[in-house]
C-alpha cells in the first residue's frame, strides 16, 4: 500500500508546482469563511478540505473519531488523540485526494462543499496555547550574541553545550500570522545616560524560529525519556519571536527576557505534522563534549527545512534579508523536550516550544537583525534603496519555510506580521 509520504502520489486537486501543500503534506489548521465559524481543515494546493463536512458525511468512517472533534475553534482535542490517530486521519485524507480515487472527486455536491478556495477563508490560531517555552539552541546565534555583548573568546557560557538553554515565555500574546503588532514601550538605557528613560523601543527586531506543538498531557513529576519524546510532538509551525533589543538589554540581567519579548510572537497557521516531515530528517552538528545520558540519542533528529525572512515596507515589495536552515540547530527537538521534563515538569496539549533564533554559519544566514546589522553597526538595503538597522513602523516581516526532496516540496505557508506605531 502506498503511504501518504510517497513521492509518487498525485492528487486530483490541481496543486501548483511551487505550492507548500502537495498531497504529501496535508497540514492541519483552523479556518473560517463567511458561512462557517471556526472549524478544522487540511490544506491541499490552493484549497482547504473542510474536516467537519468529511466527518459528518461518512468520509472518515471507521476511524472512530469523537463526535464534533473538528467543529471546534482549536485543534487541541483532535491532537490529544495522539500521533497515531492523527496520522490515520492524514492517511485517510491522502487516500481521498489521490488522483485515482473517485469517492470525493466524483461526488460533485460533496466536492463543492468540502473543497474551499483559500481565497474565501481566514486562518485562525491553530491551537489554544496553555504554555510557551523558548529555547536558545543555535550555536551560531548564541556565539554571535555572546561575541557582541560579552567576550568573543568566551562567547558561549559554560552550560551552553551541556543543556538546551530555555526560558518560559508569554502564551497569551502569541498571535496567528497576519496579525499586526504595535511597537512596544518600556525602559531603555541610552549609552550616554546614567539613568533609563521610558520610550517606545528603538531596536525592534524579529527572530526566525521553528516551534513544535505537543499532543499529550503528562502528570506532574513525570519525565519524558528522549526515545519517547517524538511521541508527544504532533508537528511544527514557523515562529517569529519579536524582540525589543534595547528593552531586553536593560532588563535581562539578572533574570532574563521579560518586556523585551512578551509583547508578541507570531506563528504560522498550519501545523505540519511530524509524520509529513519524516522524509526530511537530517543529521545535526556534532555535539562536543559528550552530553549526559538523558540527552543521548540515536538516528537523525534534526530536519532539513529551508528558511527565509523577507521585509516589506509600505513603499517596497518584500526583500529577502536572510536564508538559513533548521538543520543547523545544535540541540534538536527531542533533546529539548527531554530536558524540559527531566525535572518532572508536566506538559499539556497545545504547548508551543520554540527553537530559538535559527542562524547559520554565514552572515546572510543570520536569523535576526541584531546579527544581520551587528546591533546596528551595519545597514541592510531593501528595495528602492531603503536602509534598515532595525524595524520601523509600517514594516512587514514575512517568514517562509519548506523542505524538499525527490521532487516533493513540503512547506509551512507564511508567518507574517506588520509593525504599527506605539500606542
Alpha-carbon distance of 335 to 301, in angstroms, equals: 9
Task: Give the residue among 113, 114, 132, 128 at the shortest CA–CA distance from 73.
Answer: 128
- Asked if 160 and 237 sit in the same domain, the reply is yes
pLDDT in tens, 29-88: 999 999 999 999 999 999 999 999 999 999 999 999 999 999 999 999 999 999 999 999
- Asked if 218 and 74 sit in the same domain, the reply is no
- Asked if 212 and 355 sit in the same domain, the reply is yes
Provide the pLDDT for residue 291: 98
217 three-class SS = coil
pLDDT in tens, 158-186: 999 999 999 999 999 999 999 999 999 99
CATH classification of the domain holding 53: 2.30.30.230
Mean pLDDT value of segment 149-164: 93
- Asked if 159 and 262 sit in the same domain, the reply is yes
Range of the domain at 66: 28-123
- Asked if 102 and 75 sit in the same domain, the reply is yes
- Asked if 113 and 186 sit in the same domain, the reply is no
Of 89, 123, 157, the residue that ends a domain is 123
pLDDT more than 90, % of the chain: 98
What are 232's three cell numbers?
Answer: 508527544
How high is the mean pLDDT of the chain?
A: 97
- Asked if 267 and 179 sit in the same domain, the reply is yes
Mean pLDDT value of segment 255-269: 97
Provide the pLDDT for residue 267: 98
Query: Does residue 91 lie in a domain region?
Result: yes
Q: Is the pLDDT of residue 7 over 90?
A: yes
Alpha-carbon distance of 124 to 74, in angstroms, equals: 9
- Asked if 114 and 137 sit in the same domain, the reply is no
Query: Does residue 350 lie in a domain region?
Result: yes
Length of the chain measured in residues: 423
Query: Does residue 11 lie in a domain region?
Result: no
Query: Does residue 338 lie in a domain region?
Result: yes
Cell 536602509 belongs to residue: 387
Tally of domains within the chain: 2
pLDDT in tens, 346-396: 999 999 999 999 999 999 999 999 999 999 999 999 999 999 999 999 999
- Asked if 252 and 311 sit in the same domain, the reply is yes
- Asked if 157 and 46 sit in the same domain, the reply is no
Catalytic positions are: 141
Cell 516533493 belongs to residue: 408
- Asked if 232 and 276 sit in the same domain, the reply is yes
Alpha-carbon distance of 364 to 389, in angstroms, equals: 15
CATH classification of the domain holding 403: 3.90.850.10
CA distances to 167, 201, 223, 229, 264 from 339, in Å: 12, 33, 9, 10, 25
Q: Is the pLDDT of residue 148 over 90?
A: yes
Provide the pLDDT for residue 2: 84
- Asked if 108 and 204 sit in the same domain, the reply is no
Q: Is the pLDDT of residue 277 over 90?
A: yes
Backbone phi and psi for residue 243, each to the nearest 5 degrees, phi listed first: -140, 135
Of 94, 123, 152, the residue that ends a domain is 123
Q: Is the pLDDT of residue 297 over 90?
A: yes
Of 86, 101, 123, the residue that ends a domain is 123
Q: Is the pLDDT of residue 1 over 80?
A: no
Query: Does residue 290 lie in a domain region?
Result: yes
Amino acid at each position: 500500500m502506498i503511504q501518504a509520504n510517497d513521492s509518487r502520489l498525485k492528487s486530483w486537486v490541481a496543486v501548483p508546482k511551487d505550492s507548500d501543500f502537495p498531497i504529501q503534506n496535508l497540514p492541519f489548521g483552523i479556518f473560517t469563511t463567511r458561512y462557517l465559524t471556526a472549524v478544522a481543515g487540511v490544506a491541499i494546493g490552493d484549497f482547504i478540505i473542510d474536516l467537519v463536512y468529511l466527518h459528518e458525511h461518512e468520509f472518515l468512517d471507521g476511524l472512530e473519531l469523537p463526535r464534533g472533534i473538528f467543529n471546534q475553534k482549536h485543534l487541541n482535542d483532535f491532537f490529544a488523540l495522539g500521533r497515531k490517530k492523527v496520522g490515520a486521519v492524514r492517511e485517510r485524507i491522502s487516500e481521498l485526494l489521490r488522483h485515482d480515487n473517485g469517492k470525493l472527486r466524483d461526488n460533485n455536491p460533496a466536492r463543492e462543499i468540502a473543497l474551499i478556495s483559500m481565497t474565501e477563508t481566514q486562518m485562525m490560531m491553530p491551537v489554544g496555547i496553555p504554555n510557551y517555552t523558548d529555547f536558545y539552541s543555535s550555536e551560531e546565534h548564541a556565539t554571535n550574541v555572546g561575541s557582541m555583548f560579552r567576550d568573543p573568546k568566551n562567547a558561549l557560557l559554560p552550560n551552553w553545550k551541556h543543556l538546551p538553554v530555555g526560558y518560559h515565555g508569554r502564551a497569551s500574546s502569541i498571535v496567528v500570522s497576519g496579525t499586526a503588532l504595535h511597537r512596544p514601550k518600556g525602559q531603555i538605557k541610552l549609552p550616554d545616560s546614567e539613568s533609563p528613560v521610558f520610550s517606545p523601543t528603538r531596536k525592534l527586531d524579529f527572530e526566525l524560529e521553528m516551534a513544535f506543538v505537543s499532543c499529550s498531557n503528562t502528570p506532574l513529576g513525570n519525565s519524558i525519556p528522549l526515545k519517547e519524546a517524538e511521541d508527544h510532538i504532533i508537528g511544527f509551525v514557523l515562529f517569529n519571536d519579536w524582540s525589543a533589543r534595547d528593552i531586553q538589554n536593560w532588563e535581562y540581567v539578572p533574570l532574563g527576557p521579560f518586556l523585551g519579548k512578551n509583547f508578541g510572537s507570531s506563528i504560522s497557521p498550519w501545523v505540519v505534522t511530524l509524520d509529513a516531515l519524516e522524509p526530511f530528517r537530517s543529521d545535526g552538528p556534532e555535539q562536543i563534549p559528550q552530553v549526559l545520558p538523558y540527552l543521548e540519542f540515536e538516528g537523525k533528529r534534526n530536519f532539513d527545512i529551508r528558511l527565509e525572512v523577507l521585509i516589506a515596507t509600505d513603499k517596497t515589495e518584500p526583500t529577502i534579508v536572510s536564508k538559513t536552515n533548521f538543520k543547523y540547530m545544535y540541540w534538536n527537538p527531542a533533546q529539548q523536550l527531554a530536558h524540559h521534563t527531566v525535572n518532572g515538569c508536566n506538559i499539556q496539549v497545545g504547548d508551543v516550544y520554540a527553537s530559538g533564533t535559527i542562524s547559520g554559519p554565514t552572515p546572510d544566514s543570520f536569523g535576526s537583525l541584531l546579527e544581520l546589522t551587528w546591533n546596528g553597526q551595519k545597514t541592510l538595503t531593501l528595495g528602492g534603496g531603503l536602509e534598515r538597522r532595525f524595524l520601523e513602523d509600517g514594516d512587514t516581516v514575512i517568514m517562509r519555510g519548506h523542505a524538499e526532496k525527490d521532487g516533493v516540496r513540503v512547506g509551512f505557508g507564511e508567518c507574517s506580521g506588520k509593525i504599527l506605531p506605539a500606542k
